[in-house]
Amino acid sequence: MADVYPVRFPDQLRQHLRALRKRHDLTQAQIGALVGVSQARIAEIEANPGLVNFEQLMKLLSVLGVSLTLQEEAAAPVATRPPAAKTSKPKATKPQPKAISRQPEVKPASRRTLVARPKKGSW
């Protein structure tokens, strides 16, 4: 039976890519040559696979001897399920009072009265 590598988060893909490369005893430079990119690009892909070009990712997976498969899960987690259709009327709720934001009180630095001075040279 073929191995399965479930990926739900970019960090998991990062771990799988590195492990698959090492399983094939390939360095980043060697796999880069097979894919047609530099060793630095392979390092970038392994460090942050969420930003990789999809075409490059597919080529990299092919070189590693794995493929990308989309599989529908039996029950989606609550956070990702679409909202259920509402059949009953929404309950009437009391309007919430709006929060009143008070501005801080500004106190003058001194008790002197400010007097407008004439512009220089206007005497």
Is the separation of the CB atoms in 61 and 67 below 8 Å? yes
Q: Where are the domains of the chain?
A: 10-63
Distances (CA, A) of 109 to 49, 81, 92, 113: 57, 58, 51, 11
**CA max distance for the chain:** 99
pLDDT(85) > 70: no
pTM above 0.75, yes or no: no
pLDDT(29) > 90: yes
Q: Under CATH, which architecture does the 10-63 domain have?
A: Orthogonal Bundle (1.10)
State residue 72's pLDDT score: 81
Average pLDDT of 83-99?
A: 60
**Token duo for residue 29:** 């430079």
The label of the residue with tokens 């988060």 reads: 9
